[in-house]
Structure 1
Amino acid sequence: MIAALLVAAALSGSPSPSEGGTTSSEVTETAAADALNPAAVEAISTVIYDYVDGQLEGDPARVARALHPDLAKRAVRTRPDPDEPLGLRRMSRDELVELTRQGALRTPRDAWDRNVRVLDIAGNVASARAETPWFVDYFHLGRFGDRWVIVNALWFPKPSQPTQ
């Protein structure tokens, strides 16, 4: 592959990567960054903030509207399980909404330290990352008509929890 890139660069008159030119991975990263439509990024960010802020506020309706009915929310288990060596903690949309209703992650607003970053958008799918005082989530989202929703979430619980 590298040889093919060097041949293509030589034929096009472009400098090779060793001469300070652009590598194929840099071109791919640039194309991906350019593809992040600002309106789509804003719409996706709004959905993820509904998910995050809804949990921190204890607002189950706000969380529910951000989630696909068939949500797959998972975390890699940190304790070994002999029956499931690649153990996952699984949670459905209904379980997450119920935990929110119970106030499981309710956090005073002055303790909110959260951020959202849209990582990639390709047509009607996207990936994003969110971090709060409680967890780090990686999301797969889908666009259904004009509406984005979280379809999958893989999360990591932070070891130290904020005091309430």
Structure 2
Amino acid sequence: MIAALLAAIALQAAAPPASIPVQPQAATPLALDPAAVKAVEAVAYDYVDGQLEGDVARVTRSLHPDLAKRAIRARPDPDETLGLRRMNRDELVGLTRQGALKTPREKWDRSVRVLDVAGNVAVARVETPWFVDHLNLGRFGDRWVIVNALWYPKPQPPAAKP
């Protein structure tokens, strides 16, 4: 009987009080599949390098036909509570065709980092001196493409006056 009483006291001491929620254990992150990372990086580089080269085909192949590219509006829009600047694939391809970001290769300064891959979805971060893009990619069969992009245009210094 004394042993049972001691066991009950020990169990009560080990259990957290009901007022303190028990936090679930976080899952141990799995290592990313190197082949998937390489494939996602290749698509992200097609996206950014294609824009820097003005290569329409390279940019187009990196994008889902229903691409949603968004940026948070710097100035409020009276018609939207949470204003977004929106762009679709055709608009981005058009800007590439116009050479909006065309830059001599020796001035390229860009990076791509794959943040996560889970099954047929991935997240990557692309950075240049002009913008940061957070890309959501999907794998369709063996092909990865950018489905969504949320981007941040970096503030630029004023242009030098002649």
Query: What TM-score does the superposition give when structure 2 sets the normalisation length?
Result: 0.80
What is the match of residue 99 of structure 2? Answer: 103
Largest Rg, 1 or 2: 2
- Separation (CA, whole Å) in 2 of partners of 1:130 and 1:107: 16
Q: Which residue of 2 aligns with 1:123?
A: 119
Q: Give distance in 1, aligned partners of 2:107 and 2:158.
A: 8
Residue aligning to 2:52: 56
Q: 2:33 aligned with 1:31, yes or no?
A: no
Tell me the CA shift for residue 113 of structure 1: 0.8
Q: Deviations over 1:79-122 (max 9, x none)?
A: 01221120101001010001000000111111111110111111
Unaligned 5+ runs, structure 1:
1-6, 11-22
Q: Secondary structure at the match of 1:45?
A: helix
Runs of 4+, deviation exceeding 2 Å: none
Q: 1:8-87 alignment to 2 at 5 Å? A: 24-25=25-26, 28=27, 30-32=28-30, 34=31, 36-87=32-83
Alignment partner, residue 4 of structure 1: none
CA contact (8 A) 1:133 1:161 kept: no
- Structure 1 residues 162 and 53 mapped into 2: Cα distance closer, same or farther (>3 Å)? farther
The offset of 1:162, in angstroms, is 10
Gaps of 5+ in 2: 1-10, 15-23
RMSD: 2.2
**Counterpart pick for 1:147 among 133, 143, 148:** 143
How many residues matched? 139
Decide which of 80, 85, 98 is 1:89's aligned counterpart.
85
* Shift in Å, 1:64: 0.2
Which structure is higher in helix share? 1
Summarize deviations over 1:38-67 as a string: whole Å, max 9, x none. 000000000000000000011111000000
Summarize the Cα distance change of 1:162–1:116 in structure 2 as closer, same or farther, 3 Å threshold. farther
Residue deviations 1:117-164, cap 9 Å, x none? Answer: 11111110111100012110001100001000000000001111798x
